[in-house]
Structure 1
Amino acid sequence: MRIGITGGIGSGKSFVCQLLKQRGIEVYDCDSAAKRLMRTSAPLRQQLTTLIGPNTYLEDGSLNKAAVAQFLLASEANAKAIDGIVHPAVFADYEKSGIDWIESAILFESGLDKLLDKVVVVTAPEEVRIRRVMQRDHISEAKAKEWIARQLPQETVRARADYEIINDGETPLEPQIDNLIK
């Protein structure tokens, strides 16, 4: 059974994945995989360079994050073009991984949910999420709210998920994870 774990920024989905790992459950991390593939996959590097331009990668071979961000933020079409290159590469890598569990912040937006049997959403109240993002990324409240607003609303994701883990800092996580595994 393939199970996806999602949740908005600051919900604590990565923390939940760490708890699963402590129980011996390996979780494929889409964000880490995308970064790795953009660095190491020759076909992906070529596609991105063709799309963005010759300064997509620095001389040392690393991704020129400033150039990519500038291209990405220039238009919604640019963002979709990058996603159209990166998402299929990540999906193919996941398919080859043999891992049943997968973590993705944009699971529904990317269409990844269509490859899965069940989806788990990690939720937390917005004020908790804002505080976590501000502390983790050392950003302002306004910036944290902006990032949250760019994602699907938590209620929409919750409605589409099969299971919810509440990570509000008060509700114990361990029993919820035990029930999920059962």
Structure 2
Amino acid sequence: MKKIGLTGGIGSGKTTVSKLLEKEGFPVINADEISRQVMEPGSEVLNDVAEIFGSDLIDKDGNLDRAELARRAFKDDHSTEALNGITHPAIRWRTERLFEQYRDEEAVIYDMPLLVENNMVRDMDMVVVVEVPADIRIERLVSSRGLDADDVRRRMAQQATDEERAAVADVIIDNSGTETDLAPQVKKLVEKIHSLS
């Protein structure tokens, strides 16, 4: 089984690319999805997060206010490290179980925003970076997700730079256009993945 690391900055459209790859028959492990799962109501991880970042983050039904957690956790390096220290071990454990589950597949797509930041590049057989200029990403996140532009810039500052991601990329996907523009790039990527086997 080949591990294909799929990464890119916030708002680059990794999910769109991973869905296209899923349609091509590749299983996808989505790190953001796993991070949501480990913070389900009542989980130990969620309790630890509330202890550090405030119990007011959890509503009466036990659900996490993710937007507010992001505001608190990404305001500085110390807060970001505190959140990562709580969530990353649980995320890593669940991720390893999923890779084990897919061990007989030709390749698995690992949709991981922090692939570069977490020094996981060396664990991948191929690294795919989805690139979009920062101004387009900000515009997309403000219009589609209703995020605050300054908050997006702060999150971007916490992530690897476009140059750092490009330096480790085996394949770069340009997602500054439409989904129609993506299709031929994904087709080429699929061929490259098949050629690894």
Q: Indicate the TM-score class for this superposition, using the shorter chain for normalisation.
A: 0.7 to 0.9
Q: How far apart are 1:19 and its partner, in Å?
A: 0.9
Change (3 A) 1:114 1:86: farther
Confirm or deny: 8 A CA contact 1:120 1:161 kept in the other structure.
Answer: yes
Question: Mean alpha-carbon deviation: is it higher for 16-25 or for 64-73?
Answer: 64-73
Confirm or deny: 8 A CA contact 2:45 2:87 kept in the other structure.
Answer: yes
Q: Give the match's secondary structure for 1:95.
A: helix
Q: Which residue of 2 aligns with 1:153?
A: 161
> CA deviation digits over 1:98-135, x for unaligned, max 9?
34211121111133334322211001233332332222
Q: Which residue of 1 aligns with 2:7?
A: 6
Matches of 1:65 and 1:32, distance apart in 2: 13
Q: Which residue of 2 aligns with 1:21?
A: 22
User: Identity of counterpart residues, as a percentage?
Assistant: 30
How many residues are paired up?
182
Residue 81 of structure 1 aligns with an amino acid whose one-letter code is A
Q: Which residue of 2 aligns with 1:42?
A: 43
Matches of 1:67 and 1:144, distance apart in 2: 13
In the superposition, the TM-score normalised over structure 1's length comes to 0.82
Matches of 2:65 and 2:137, distance apart in 1: 29
Q: How does 1:124-163 map to 2 (within 5 A)?
A: 124-139=132-147, 143-163=151-171
Confirm or deny: 8 A CA contact 2:27 2:109 kept in the other structure.
Answer: yes
Change (3 A) 1:17 1:73: closer
Matches of 1:70 and 1:86, distance apart in 2: 16
Paired residue for 1:106, among 78, 95, 114? 114
In the superposition, the TM-score normalised over structure 2's length comes to 0.76
Matches of 2:74 and 2:138, distance apart in 1: 22
Confirm or deny: 8 A CA contact 2:74 2:154 kept in the other structure.
Answer: no
Confirm or deny: 8 A CA contact 1:91 1:112 kept in the other structure.
Answer: no
Q: Give the match's secondary structure for 2:127.
A: strand
More helix by share: 1
